[in-house]
Structure 1
């Protein structure tokens, strides 16, 4: 993408501000940063969350059951609209693709659903995403998040003949690959010089921050983090994240044995493990579940409704803060 010279965007220049909101600490810090810079821009903000498992209707293959409801609760607390997008059939359908096109994507908008795709060339996966910085190999990030957002931006006519600031929470500290990302650049869905005049800039406001600074701003506003952090997880990605370490896989198995058994079945069926060396079964044996895996937050994380407060009167760092670094390379 083309880098832009402006490192501090003027929110007044944009018709809307879209924040990619996973429910994790970095995207939460992005939201708080924007509000801290300009409360006047609140009316322009909307949160976007990509449903990894698709419009699951209570069926969760990879993601935390609580995530969608937690994201809704945060949006409601701040009085900001939230829109959800997904690939039809989610992670599981894409993983099981066998001589078929990738599925359609859908996105909620203020004017209803928009959709695109589903008629591309036939392709086959029949394997889990692999731990890699290469997004064609680690396809979950590309197909279930990045491409879904880009598709929504290209498909929804409200982005035509207008200016949009698109915000995501990648940080340089996370990996050598992410350290190379530009803080401000032209978004991949931009078409400012075309007939549709779709002007979209991509800003990463927390790119320069270390983890302490991220937790500091969350503490400043006393926001209750996603339950995964209370359980001891260092990131709020998928519950069954391909980057999870042995202890995290053991914890997930303690909380959701049926779910991990399903993944073990597919590893055997594909003849290809997520880790490339150790199958999930071995990783669970090697790991030790977090002490929280049988506590109250385990129950909260496995629900599909969030009833806990968003603001805590007595805020403390969750057990997952500064935990094992298990994320993109």
Structure 2
């Protein structure tokens, strides 16, 4: 696991257990790292949990191609392929390949908000989902599209839910631990608590940059102007508590996700880089 916060999967499990919500995970085989390192090969298969067990689809295409680069910052899902290949298409496959959704009315909920970016400001609040067909009725409702950040924190406080440890560390967004939109302060913070992740990121940058330049094309660092190590030196780490660092880097969420005394996390209302 290279891109994700180690704690995220179990945090989601504990949240769903606390709220009595069934949880079915879905993912791309090998994750973002395998897709990023894809060289003259097809995209890997999709895996998804179902009430009948683990299912898979795809991964057997004859269309081989080379990725060999980090996702790039931008509004297009072609260059910012991390969203399309690890989130959007995964969810679509999990719905489209399960018989339990045929002949039913299914509602997909997602949490985009207009104030997050210029692109998201143009989203429709309710529309047919991409997986909607004649035999499978699927709608898409962006529940909090018109909410501001205060409304989001207010409802979390109402139910006394402890936020993801990244917010408790000071991060303003819960995304990948090395999100391509990460600010210099975020990268400096990750370098302080998990330097091996940044070192690995820097090594990949060098490999990708060298390969594409050998073909006469532009180098493929993430930022295009600065390397990840250069950006680390530009940032200032957050004042992070050791006990929260341990939790964020653990694969087991060993604290309660529902608390009696709820406090706004340090990452709330901070200005951090995000989707364009």
TM more than 0.5: yes
Matches within 5 A, 1:144-183: 144-183=86-125
1:82 alignment partner, SS class:
coil
Partner of 1:95: 36
Partner residue of 1:189 out of 128, 131, 143: 131
Partner residue of 1:234? 172
SS in 1 for 2:119: helix
Q: What are the Cα deviations for residues 276-314 of structure 1, in whole angstroms up to 9, with x where unaligned?
A: 11110001111111110x521111000000011111211
Matched, 1:265 2:207: no
> 124, 130, 144: which one pairs with 2:66?
124
Find out whether 1:328 has 2:275 as its counterpart: yes
From 178, 190, 194, give the equivalent of 1:256. Answer: 194
CA shift, 1:325, in A, is 2.8
Structure 1 residue matching 2:251: 3-state secondary structure:
coil
Q: Is the 8 A contact 2:114 2:123 kept in 1?
A: yes
RMSD: 0.8
Q: Give the aligned partner of residue 214 of structure 2.
A: none
Residue 119 (structure 1) shift: 2.1
2:193 maps to 1:245: no
Superposition misfits of 4+ residues, deviation over 3 angstroms: none
- Asked if 1:210 is matched to 2:152, the reply is no
Deviation per residue, 1:77-119 (Å, 9 max, x gap): 0111101111111111100111111000010000112211112
What pairs up with 1:97-116 in 2 under 5 angstroms? 97-116=38-57
What residue in structure 2 maps to residue 313 of structure 1?
A: 260
TM-score (norm 2): 0.95
Aligned pairs (5 A) from 1:47-126: 60-120=1-61, 121-126=63-68
Q: Secondary structure at the match of 1:307?
A: coil
Secondary structure, in 3 states, of the residue corresponding to 1:83? Answer: coil
Q: Which residue of 2 aligns with 1:295?
A: 242
- CA distance in structure 2 between the aligned counterparts of 1:167 and 1:208, rounded to whole angstroms: 14
Question: For 2:70 and 2:146, how far apart are their aligned partners in 1?
Answer: 31
SS of the counterpart of 2:161? coil
8 Å Cα contact 2:202/2:227 also seen in 1? yes
TM-score, length-normalised on structure 1?
A: 0.79
Q: Is the 8 A contact 2:171 2:272 kept in 1?
A: no
**Alignment length, in residue pairs?**
265
Alignment of 1:277 with 2:219, yes or no, is no
Rounded Cα–Cα distance in structure 1 between residues aligned with 2:271 and 2:188: 14
1:316 shift after superposition: 1.0
Residue number in structure 1 paired with 2:216? none
Q: CA deviation at 1:320?
A: 0.2
